[in-house]
Amino acid sequence: MTARALTRDRRPRRGLALLRLWHRRRVTRRHLRALPPERFADVGLTAKQARAEARRWFWQG
């Protein structure tokens, strides 16, 4: 197999991995928005940090 063929074979896996990452971020940020303010300390965030993270788009790392 050529190097080009190997690269092509890995693209679908990388694409799926990226979609899984985006989905995980979206779900996590949705849960963060639903978290009561008194629980922010439990996850090691201030209210300001939690709001900032929850506002980010799923593709923003």
pLDDT for res 34? 95
Distance from C-alpha of 53 to C-alpha of 25, rounded to nearest angstrom: 10
pLDDT for res 9? 66
Dihedral over Cα of 34, 36, 59, 7: its sign = negative
Contacts of 15-24 spanning 24+ positions with Cβ under 8 A = 22/58, 22/59, 23/58
Q: Tell me the mean pLDDT per 10 residues along the chain, length 61.
A: 60 88 96 93 92 93 84
pLDDT for res 22? 95
- Distances, alpha carbon 15 to alpha carbons 8, 26, 31, 38, 57, in Å: 11, 17, 24, 37, 18
Q: Is the pTM higher than 0.85?
A: no
